[in-house]
Structure 1
């Protein structure tokens, strides 16, 4: 039994490398926005549209690609997605103007949309029910590791070369992932074809819809600051790109720790406690950034709490989605990824709107905190609805059968 387990684990790690590349691409642009803006002759809020273009395209294309390419062999779709992703990042790095760079960001997002949902489905298929949680944690561990290593490394590279070097670095990581997948991953049977309408059907359940809205609103608030992280923490870093890279490294390490511990905490205390505790701490951190961003020591503390709490919320949210209706759990979790990216794509828009309406850069954390609070309130409404439905189901069940017990897990 040991050898097959090790083989499966290696395959999960192989896919996690791809997630690492895509995650690096998602987060690294925020750290190099001033350099991008200067080189492409636009202001920083305009250059932030590169983040919006990538995240929004990914969110829209993920369910569409999953439906259209349902019959494409999984291995081919994974490798093809990474190749498109690589081309999009090379194109961004060589772009002669802002509009060209924007187009290549959409191409990179298409590659990510081809890879990520497919990788999640492959992991679920290979792992089986008994190892599904572990397999998914390995896969999405690649995404959180991107915040700890990929993003700060990419930011540091821009300090030695320029932002174009950073994009080539991201493409190189994608190439490593493509080679690893082509070598290590066997052929995987394609799942039954699911239409786009079926993939979106979980949204008709108000409990799932409210949980997805929590993701969208909450992560929009969480990433408003990340979009302008180089400027908000400029007083603490003195505008030094290498110091910022260390700050992002601390943020990312804390994100990995938050992601790793969230599962155990959710199993012990329930998803509601973990979501709300992490969210409230993040709100407090954001509300105090006008002061914590002035000094390097307090900036590191704020960044680490922010990273840990932001990533600790993802696991319990997915836990809640899986428990609401296990029959559509995979589609619900896929939609949560899209909701996350919609929130991330809105963050630069929201930030730009606030800055245009006389909110000073250093006070941007205050309205961001208010947005996170709104997300938590939406999540609480979803939790109360889940509890009510669960009580109704228990009342109708014969002596607390297994389905009712399963629904009770989602209500915790």
Structure 2
């Protein structure tokens, strides 16, 4: 392995790919009204594009990791980005909702194939002591997508149209593909695990309970996030709609939450951070039921929500690793699939709710799901009298 500085450009190109994928994964929430108007459909129906993408990602991530385990990582990354680009081009030219769904499935296939391979490839490019930094750079593209890509894309869609947003995302993917084709060297195939090995951690009750925490916490917030453009449609700050600004504030909060979550877990342990983040997120979403029309309340709530919504994944992953050390990487990969299952369930439940109830009921519906996640946290850690911080392990 060569040093980190010699591969900084390659790592940045990988991060460009994760930035494009992160923006693509959540951009529909910001442009839901525009897409609904184009296809003459209700937001509840159009919101199922989020469900389609998330379900496809959930299924394809473990499947592609299994099927492509013996394939060199460079062609896998090239194939993944090619599929991702093709999926977004289909969305750009879609004449029907069915074509949009097909494009989202194709993009999800590429994304599910790319994300774990990019992280593994980044770790393989540098020395062992630099692996954490390399992976952080690659996944930093995802955080940057939440902070800047989605709010900027949402704002830009009002100026140039939603189809052009998917075209820009495809161009970002193409830039990453071209750059990696030129700079990335051959990386040895990692070898593959059987499906039985990949699913083995699910036989542990503690692992299954922890995965359910992820599912219900994510589901509770994406009932609201998937339809945030509808919820804030008439909320204005002065003469301007508050949506893009709210998403920007949420993204800033996500960056803060992502930074402090590891430090807090090191200091206070997984249980404490989980209880704090899920409790505050649940309370913040509940407040949106009453204050969604007040711009300053919205911005405050979105900042707090962004911080807490990006705090609970680190302690969950740490707890999963401590529960199943021999197959820790496989357990964490299962958590990624469950995360997208939660997004899919949240967007689907939110859409079903909008068929019968007004939009302000969505934050109210997230309350029981958040409370159930808190009960699962208590159950998961009930046998642990003291939660040992990471630094003492």
2:381 alignment partner, SS class = helix
Q: 1:10 to 1:370 in 2, by over 3 A?
A: farther
Partner in structure 1 of residue 168 of structure 2: 169
Q: What CA distance in whole angstroms lies between the structure 1 residues aligned with 2:305 and 2:389?
A: 30
How do 1:225-304 and structure 2 match up within 5 A? 225-237=224-236, 243-304=242-303
Contact 1:94 1:164 in 2 (8 A): yes
Q: What CA distance in whole angstroms lies between the structure 1 residues aligned with 2:199 and 2:14?
A: 25
How do 1:13-412 and structure 2 match up within 5 A? 13-127=12-126, 130-237=129-236, 243-358=242-357, 360-384=358-382, 387=384, 409=390
Q: Can you list the C-alpha shifts for 1:146-193, whole angstroms capped at 9, x where unaligned?
A: 111111121112101211111112111211222232233322111122
Contact 1:54 1:105 in 2 (8 A): yes
Q: What CA distance in whole angstroms lies between the structure 1 residues aligned with 2:183 and 2:296?
A: 43
Contact 1:275 1:317 in 2 (8 A): yes
Q: 1:276 to 1:316 in 2, by over 3 A?
A: same
What is the root-mean-square deviation of aligned Cα atoms in Å? 2.5
Q: 1:137 to 1:21 in 2, by over 3 A?
A: same
Q: What CA distance in whole angstroms lies between the structure 1 residues aligned with 2:124 and 2:189?
A: 10
Q: 1:108 to 1:217 in 2, by over 3 A?
A: same
Q: 1:411 to 1:382 in 2, by over 3 A?
A: farther
Q: Which runs of 5+ in 1 are unaligned?
A: 392-406
1:327, distance to aligned residue in structure 2 (A): 1.9
Q: What CA distance in whole angstroms lies between the structure 1 residues aligned with 2:310 and 2:322?
A: 20
Contact 1:235 1:295 in 2 (8 A): no
Q: 1:227 to 1:241 in 2, by over 3 A?
A: farther
Q: 1:367 to 1:103 in 2, by over 3 A?
A: same
Q: Which runs of 5+ in 2 are unaligned?
A: none
1:377 alignment partner, SS class = helix
Contact 1:217 1:375 in 2 (8 A): yes
1:266, distance to aligned residue in structure 2 (A): 1.1
1:119 alignment partner, SS class = helix
Contact 2:253 2:306 in 1 (8 A): yes
1:240, distance to aligned residue in structure 2 (A): 8.3
Q: 1:129 to 1:272 in 2, by over 3 A?
A: farther
Q: What CA distance in whole angstroms lies between the structure 1 residues aligned with 2:207 and 2:63?
A: 20
Higher mean C-alpha displacement, 103-112 vs 310-319? 310-319
1:111, distance to aligned residue in structure 2 (A): 0.4
Contact 2:266 2:389 in 1 (8 A): no
Contact 1:144 1:311 in 2 (8 A): no
Q: What CA distance in whole angstroms lies between the structure 2 residues aligned with 1:15 and 1:240?
A: 39
Q: What CA distance in whole angstroms lies between the structure 2 residues aligned with 1:62 and 1:239?
A: 44
Q: 1:27 to 1:329 in 2, by over 3 A?
A: same
Would you say 1:6 and 2:15 are equivalent positions? no
Q: What CA distance in whole angstroms lies between the structure 2 residues aligned with 1:139 and 1:373?
A: 33
Partner in structure 2 of residue 402 of structure 1: none
Q: Can you list the C-alpha shifts for 1:319-350, whole angstroms capped at 9, x where unaligned?
A: 11222222212111111111111111111211
1:384, distance to aligned residue in structure 2 (A): 3.0
How many residues in Structure 1 have an aligned counterpart in Structure 2? 393
Q: What CA distance in whole angstroms lies between the structure 2 residues aligned with 1:145 and 1:10?
A: 17
Q: What CA distance in whole angstroms lies between the structure 2 residues aligned with 1:46 and 1:67?
A: 33
- TM normalised by structure 2 equals 0.93
1:235 alignment partner, SS class = coil
- Higher helix fraction (1 or 2): 1
Q: 1:241 to 1:136 in 2, by over 3 A?
A: farther
